[in-house]
Amino acid sequence: MTYCVAVRVDQGLVMLSDTRTNAGMDNIARFRKSFTYLVEGERAITLMCSGNLSITQGVKATLSKAIKDARLDPDVETILNCSTMHRVAQIVGDAMRAMQTRYRESIEMGGSGASASIMIAGQRRGGKPRLYLVYSAGNFIEATEDTPFFQIGEHKYGKPILDRIIKRETTLEDATKAVLVSMDSTLRSNLSVGMPLDLTVIPTDRFDFRVRTRIEADNEEFAMISQSWSAALRKGFEDLPNVLD
């Protein structure tokens, strides 16, 4: 399983993913699910992947191949040189559709699922910060003011805190705390989501990453967030009014 969450607020974009992959409960591995792309001062993009790993790795390989080819032939369109973030989503969607067309039938014949989804968060100079969610069919949706965050994978445990906190006016600082708390709740309730975590933060109009880091299991800041949140919940719970006479 997987848990990835991406938030778009006025101040920018925050993305967090876990790293656990499993093919059944007895075959657990660690794979990075967040991937960053940077053209300094021009565009910063994070992709986060969930679902069939061979499909999402194939999509990534397609994107990377194009970037490599563009070094020799600048006419090759890539997510690093295309004109808009919307076009980035289309390119990722096209790569997704190509992978699905190629493998879906044979994967499903083997009894596995080929579904996958990819979140794209980023901003290019001249555009606004954008957040997209690409589905298996290659189609995609964009986060709007009404829906300022997307989740993929094991999303339910960590949704209540996001529903309560995240609005477009939420600060980048608070959005970062909120995704960490959301992940903390998910880690506690579902064994198939696991540390370490990958966190990226892209402030509005910086066209660069403010944070692009891996949070290991022994990370003190995350432990502090986790413990403070536990303590706050316990305190808040103790302070609730009595309901039995």
Tell me which stretch binds a copy of itself (CB under 8 A): 92-100, 104-112, 128-136, 235-243.
Answer: 235-243
Q: Interface residues for a copy of itself in 17-56 (CB under 8 A)?
A: none
With CB under 8 A as the contact rule, the residue among 68, 102, 167, 234 that binds a copy of itself is 234
- DSSP string of the chain? --EEEEEEETTEEEEEE--EEESSTT-EEE---EEEEEETTTEEEEEEEEE-HHHHHHHHHHHHHHHHHHHH-TTS--TTTSS-HHHHHHHHHHHHHHHHHHHHHHHHHTT----EEEEEEEEETTS--EEEEE-TTS-EEE--SS--EEEEES-STTHHHHHHH--TT--HHHHHHHHHHHHHHHHHH-TTS-S-EEEEEEETTT-S-SEEEEE-TT-HHHHHHHHHHHHHHHHHHHTSPP---
- Residue placing its CB nearer to a copy of itself in the complex, 104 or 210: 210
Q: Near a copy of itself by CB under 8 A, which window of 66-74, 98-106, 132-140, 234-242?
A: 234-242
**113 forms bridges with which residues in the sheet?**
none
Q: Is 102 in the site for a copy of itself (CB under 8 A)?
A: no
To 10 degrees, what angle do helices 53-72 and 85-109 make? 130
Least distance to a copy of itself, CB of residue 9, Å: 13
- Residue 66 vs 215, nearer CB to a copy of itself: 215
Asked whether position 1 contacts a copy of itself by CB under 8 A, the answer is no
Among 88, 120, 172, 183, binds a copy of itself (CB under 8 A): 172
165 is an interface residue for a copy of itself by CB under 8 A: yes
As a dihedral over the C-alpha atoms of residue 133, residue 136, residue 137, residue 141, rounded to 10 degrees, the angle is -10
Q: Quick one: which of 3, 35, 37, 157 contacts a copy of itself (CB under 8 A)?
A: 157
Site track 187-216 with a copy of itself (rule: CB under 8 A), x = hit = -xx-----------x--------xx-----
State which of positions 137-156 bind a copy of itself (CB under 8 A). 156
The minimum distance between CB 137 and a copy of itself, in angstroms, equals 22
- Cα separation of 128 and 147, whole Å? 16
Least Å distance, CB 14 to a copy of itself, is 10
Chain residues binding a copy of itself by CB under 8 A are 156-157, 159-161, 163-165, 172-174, 176-178, 180-181, 185, 188-189, 201, 210-211, 221, 224-225, 228-237, 239-244
